[in-house]
Amino acid sequence: MKPFITTSLRLLLYLILIAPLLLFIAYGFSTRWFFPAPFPAEWTTSTFDRALNDSRTLTGLRDGLTIAVIVSVLSLLLAFPAARVMGLRQFKGQQLAWLLLFLPTVVPPLAIGMGLNILFLQLGLAGTIFGVVLAHLIPTLPYTIFTLSSAFARYDENFEHQALALGASPLQIFVNVTLRMMTPSLVVATLFAFLISWSQYLLTLLIGGGKIITLPILLFAAASGGNPSTIGIKSLLFVLPPVLVIAFTARELTRHGEDIREQY
Amino acid sequence: MTHIQITSLHKTYPNASTPVLKDFSLSINDGEMVALLGPSGTGKSTLLKLIAGIEQPDSGDIYFDGESILQTEPNKRGAVLMFQKSYLFPFLNVEENIGFGLKMQGVSSETIQAEVKRMLNLIGLPGIEKRKVGQLSGGEGQRVALARALVTQPKLLMLDEPLSSLDTSVRINLQAAIREIQRELGITTIFVTHDLSEAMAMSDRMAILLDGEVTAYDKPDVLFHRPPCVRSAKFVGVDLFLEGESSGGWLDAAEVGRVRLKDESKVGRSVYAIRPEHIRIQKEEIENSLRGMVQSCLLEYKTTASGSEWSKKVIP
């Protein structure tokens, strides 16, 4: 009875997760699907072909991916030292430091965006990829810092001391010990940064000023247009990179998770 | 083979009111194994961290063969640490763990393989090169950690309570093994422990460290039978002291009266420590007998470790 229940629950979970995707596929690859017909009357790839040949969509895909990748890398570079100190050390004013680091998650993005827009216009960063990247770092950094600092709180520096005593230089220790030990958390932190940046709408719109177009902006435009096929295809294109990233990182996580379980 | 000289080492951690090491000095001969014995929090581990370069002393110096090492980068000092936990890298297998230090020094992979094999034979675990560290038992993990430390041919091996997390039988076995290997390689070793019997079983000399200071430093049997001060005596298991004036082979102790002394040369105010195993309970009153009543009895037994199968392999 127990295995039956767990299997059923698991299948139900898969269904809930996959149902929206099935709906997008059904809408994106069909025409003339009217209520109360349970399935589309006709299947076609014309909307998909059109999207693939649409320069705006391709630019949105390219710019969105570029921004998300740069944001992920920068987030890690900035979050890593901060998280190490926050996770491993205790110092006066640490609570205040946490508050400052987490402020972007409670301040409304509209307030941040409007303020940044004025500043970036003055600095000439508005409407540039770099400007959008900087803006995206605001919502991504708290999550990457939190993910990495909780990993550092469980991290034992004696692994590094051991490597030092065995003759490894600080750089060798960083590459061969610290990064290897932190890989699962780095993967999760990268995943967060990528997903948050990839799905950013408001900050991209405000800082990009219509010059930087990413897929969420096109998706919002398509959603207000009301064509189910276009919405379906653009939604699929929007979902595809995160799904690939998660699929890749899940495999990595399982591999490193085993190593960690063996140690403890 | 390295002679270690530590002079007037002083260390206070930031935000701490009292120093963890006060004017700490110690001299360790070539190939000697010195046990550093003391309760928790007396600066034993701090001393090892200072030698390894993980922490910096406030003052004092550490010399390897007459040369100060404080200005030497920690990874070039040749002082290897082994902790209570094995700290084997979980993402590497046994062979990669043992070869880690050599790989960092740029040694060729063929040499590393040969050295790892030699080390595994030495620690009595041949053929486990490809095993994951998660599949090792506690004792095996510590043996591999020992091999990883020894393969780099360090000037000084520092063992920070490496056996305290192991079962008694495994611990006794490993005590013997570490001692045999240390003797065979002639490597200067500092062994930190809070366990008196372990320190006595393993060391050539024993230093008692109390509140950041060395209160006694001598051969284990000397420290055990003739501790130089009351604090050290208490630490080696004495809790009965007689204090009074000695002269002409007699001690006038205020609490118990006159007691006959073996050493007739002692004159003046002195304190005598009486080891519990030297007290004999009997009905008749004779010289040096004190009247008393037995209030409770505890059954205690001692085991003596003999050569194990493993240690026989090391020393043919």
Q: Residues B150-198: pLDDT tens digits?
A: 999 999 999 998 888 888 888 888 888 888 889 888 999 999 998 888 8
pLDDT band at residue B144, thresholds of 50, 70 and 90? very high
Name the β-bridge partners of B268.
B246
Confidence category of residue B313, pLDDT binned at 50, 70, 90: very low
A168 touches chain B (CB under 8 A): yes
Chain B partners within 8 Å of A163 (Cβ): 100, 104
- Domain borders along chain A are 66-263
Q: CB-CB: which of B81, B89, B148 is closest to A161? A: B81
**Beta pairing, strands B213-218 & B205-210:** antiparallel
**Distance from C-alpha of A213 to C-alpha of A208, rounded to nearest angstrom:** 7
B11 CA: distance to closest CA in chain A (Å): 19
Look at residue B304 and tell me whether its pLDDT is greater than 60: no
pLDDT at A256: 52
Residue B306 scores a pLDDT above 90: no
Collect all residues of chain A within an 8 Å Cβ-Cβ radius of residue B115. none
Per-residue pLDDT, A261: 54
Chain B residues touching A159 at Cβ < 8 A = 87, 89
Fold of A66-263: MetI-like fold (1.10.3720)
A221 interface with B at CB cutoff 8 Å: no
User: Tokens representing B53?
Assistant: 């370069």
| Mean local confidence (pLDDT), A193-209 | 92
Chain centroid to CA B260 = 36
What is the token pair recorded at A238? Answer: 């929007």
Q: Enumerate the H helices of B14-90 as residue ranges.
A: 44-52
More confident residue, B62 or B280: B62
Interface test with B, best of A173, A175, A258, A263 (most B CBs within 10 A): A263
Give the Cα separation of B224 and A49 in Å (integer). Answer: 89
Q: For residue A134, how far is the Cα from the chain centroid?
A: 15
Most confident stretch, A69-83, B154-168, B289-303? A69-83
Beta bridge pairs of residue B160: B192
Pair of tokens at residue B22: 């006060």
pTM for this prediction? 0.80
Mean of pLDDT values over A97-108:
90
Omega before residue B57 within 30° of 0, cis = no
Q: Summarize pLDDT for A33-50 with one digit per residue, the tens.
A: 777 878 887 888 888 888
| Residues of B in Cβ contact (< 8 Å) with A262 | 90, 132-135
Least confident of A66-75, A79-88, A196-205, B292-301: B292-301
Cβ distance of B132 and A262 shorter than 8 Å = yes
Q: For residue A153, give Cα distances in angstroms to A26, A67, B79, B235.
A: 46, 30, 28, 36
A168–B54 C-beta distance less than 8 A? no
The model's pLDDT over A253-262, given as tens digits with 9 standing for 90+, comes to 665 555 455 4
Identify which has the larger pLDDT, A245 or B132. B132
The answer to whether residue A180 neighbours chain B at the CB level (below 8 Å) is: yes
Structural tokens at position B280: 């004999």
Q: Is A191 on the interface with B (CB under 8 A)?
A: no
Q: What is the separation, in whole angstroms, between the first and last Cα of chain A? A: 33
Are residues A56 and A221 in contact, defined by beta-carbon separation less than 8 angstroms?
Answer: no
CB A166 to CB B91 under 8 A? no
Lowest mean pLDDT of A71-85, A129-143, B123-137, name the range. Answer: B123-137
Residues 6+ apart with CB under 8 A from B227: B208, B216, B233, B235, B236, B238, B273
More confident residue, B282 or A168: A168
- Res. B25 pLDDT band, cuts 50 70 90: very high
- CA-nearest residue to A261 within chain B is B134
pLDDT at B309 over 60: no
- B90 vs A259: CB contact, 8 Å cut-off? yes
A187-219 b/e (C-beta count within 10 Å ≥ 16 → b) = bbbbbbbbbbbbbbebbbbbbbbeebbbbbbbb
**Model confidence at A73: pLDDT above 90:** yes
- pLDDT band at residue B10 under the 50/70/90 scheme: very high
- A233 interfacial to chain B (CB closer than 8 Å): no
pLDDT number for residue B177: 87
Considering only the beta carbons, identify the residue of A167, A262, A263 that sits closest to B75.
A167
Q: What is the pLDDT of residue B40?
A: 83
Mean pLDDT value across residues B198-218:
90
CA distances from A197 to A20, A192, A202 (A): 22, 8, 11
Residue A119 has pLDDT above 90, yes or no: yes
For residue B301, what are its two tokens?
């037994």
Cβ-defined contact of A165 to B148 (cutoff 8 Å): no
Mean pLDDT within B234-238: 87
**pLDDT per residue over A204-217, tens digit each?**
999 998 899 999 99
Q: Which residue has the tokens 């390689």?
A: B185
| Band (B109; pLDDT cuts 50, 70, 90) | very high
Say which of A169, A180, A262 has its CB closest to residue B134: A262
CA distance B198 to B207: 13
Cβ–Cβ of A262/B133 closer than 8 Å? yes
- Work out how many CB contacts closer than 8 A connect A with B: 75
- CATH 3.40.50.300 applies to domain B4-223: yes
> In terms of Cα–Cα distance, which of B78, B128, B69 is closest to B98?
B128
pLDDT at A251: 67
Q: At A15, which amino acid appears? A: L
